[in-house]
Chains A and B, each alone.
Chain A
């Protein structure tokens, strides 16, 4: 079969450019959503916690209501931040047209204890002090849904207090990149661990190790281009 007549010579750099655009779009959105929240927490002499939470709720609800890839959004506090117990974890999710608060179990003795400290998006954002976006991963409590989580660090008076983060529907979030790859024959987008995110090779599905595929087939990549804000790489194969 003829795989389409309109394949073009799309470069890894072109893919990285789209990756950067998508990422900066979501990071800007998260920063925008946290502006008023941080401002209320910076007030002297004491932070206005209730007002901060109110502002965050307005910001998150407003953004979740839009048509984009957001499926959930909120604030996750650093365990040692001493602003308020109310700021440990506040999260809103979109269910159909409805947006509602999501409660999490924060008791370590519970089976469903939610330990965000161990999550990559929290740990990495905290360690690097830079915005972070994960590769697609399977939501581990048996939904068949893949999720991408993005986070930006927040500081109050120069001290890290936590992250504002969002869950994204990978299909919607990756759509612009996917469209680009449909017009190419030999490009693969991988995450920082060289696992496939998207590929123009249909057999290279999400999560497959590109490194092992290259070893097995003896194929040498021609070019690699790294997206600095995500650490994702566009790889051109022969």
Chain B
């Protein structure tokens, strides 16, 4: 029923006990961010479980739980033995199958919601960057657009795009927008690789990003805002289309007589 959740829901969320579960979630979040944004490189070995648990100030059990989830997502692989340990693995993003499974797990309305949220964050960041950006930031943005043109795989393109939006938020001089932009890239960016498999989507996206960089440089906030909305809408709609096709394929596979 509408309107009444203040009583139960908000309270439940606001006063939820800070238990091991939320600690595990936090550790997962940090490691996932580090891997997705490329702070930890592919193949890099993580510190030993004992050391890593100490660094995060959590129990080894909590850390082990977190690593288990990341292994499930294909972001970490663990080997046993003398040379064993946990390694960063980019299989999660390089395997199309894995990405498609991730996309199927997101209901269409969740995709739309994430797209709306991205539009809100980056369009405001773009408008503010046009007012506040330093010359250096403009250079970085322009450089990232050039890198985009060189990207030869959907994944390389997606990574450059992610960096562009994080840099754009930084250029807006707003710490909250920056944090939100980083969080969004971590949550949503890997899946966007699927949309960038289309050459036409890449070409259109590249044009939007080029125009954002130009508008920021020229101090034209409104134009920067519009292009930021357009690129996220473009990618969001492409993801919805891909998801429907995957959905149909899944339904057909289920119908197939065994």
Question: Do A and B originate from a single complex?
Answer: yes
Which residues in A have some Cβ–Cβ distance to B below 8 Å? Answer: 1-6, 72, 91, 102-105, 111-112, 114-116, 119, 137, 139-144, 146-147, 149, 165, 167, 171, 179, 182-183, 200, 202-203, 205-206
- What is the count of residue pairs linking A and B with beta-carbon distances less than 8 angstroms? 85
Asked if residues B240 and A4 are in contact (CB atoms below 8 Å), the reply is no
Asked if residues B1 and A167 are in contact (CB atoms below 8 Å), the reply is yes
13 contacting pairs across A/B (C-beta < 8 A): A3-B248, A4-B245, A4-B248, A6-B248, A91-B1, A104-B1, A104-B7, A111-B6, A119-B3, A141-B3, A141-B5, A142-B10, A182-B247
Asked if residues B241 and A202 are in contact (CB atoms below 8 Å), the reply is yes
**Further 7 A-B residue pairs, CB within 8 A, beyond A1-B245, A112-B3, A202-B108:** A91-B1, A137-B2, A139-B2, A140-B2, A142-B10, A202-B244, A206-B109
Please indicate which of the listed interface residues B107, B240, B244, B251 has the most CB atoms of chain A within 10 Å of its own CB: B244
Complex Cα spacing A137 to B191, Å:
27
A76 closest partner in B (C-beta): B1
Asked if residues A143 and B9 are in contact (CB atoms below 8 Å), the reply is yes
- Number of interface residues, chain B, beta carbon within 8 A: 27
Complex Cα spacing A3 to B9, Å:
40
Q: Decide if B202 is an interface residue (CB 8 Å cutoff).
A: no
B111 closest partner in A (C-beta): A205
On chain B, the residues within 8 Å of A1 by CB distance are: 242, 245
Tell me the interface secondary structure of chain A in the complex: loop
On chain A, the residues within 8 Å of B1 by CB distance are: 72, 91, 104, 114, 116, 119, 139, 147, 149, 165, 167
* Interchain CB contact (< 8 A) of A182 among B2, B113, B240, B248: B248
Which residues in B have some Cβ–Cβ distance to A below 8 Å? Answer: 1-10, 107-109, 112-113, 237, 240-245, 247-249, 251-252
On chain B, the residues within 8 Å of A3 by CB distance are: 244-245, 248
Complex Cα spacing A81 to B11, Å:
32
Asked if residues A144 and B241 are in contact (CB atoms below 8 Å), the reply is no
Complex Cα spacing A137 to B8, Å:
19
Asked if residues B251 and A182 are in contact (CB atoms below 8 Å), the reply is yes
Going nearest first, the 3 A-B pairs with the smallest beta carbon separation are: A141-B5, A112-B6, A4-B248
Tell me the interface secondary structure of chain B in the complex: helix
Asked if residues B108 and A205 are in contact (CB atoms below 8 Å), the reply is yes
Asked if residues A6 and B113 are in contact (CB atoms below 8 Å), the reply is no
B248 closest partner in A (C-beta): A4
Asked if residues A171 and B107 are in contact (CB atoms below 8 Å), the reply is yes
Asked if residues A142 and B9 are in contact (CB atoms below 8 Å), the reply is yes
Minimum C-beta distance from B228 to chain A (A): 19
On chain A, the residues within 8 Å of B251 by CB distance are: 179, 182-183
On chain A, the residues within 8 Å of B243 by CB distance are: 202
Complex Cα spacing A72 to B8, Å:
14
Complex Cα spacing A144 to B5, Å:
12
Asked if residues A115 and B248 are in contact (CB atoms below 8 Å), the reply is no
Complex Cα spacing A71 to B247, Å:
25
* Interchain CB contact (< 8 A) of A141 among B4, B107, B240, B242: B4
B249 closest partner in A (C-beta): A4
Minimum C-beta distance from B96 to chain A (A): 12
Minimum C-beta distance from B183 to chain A (A): 16
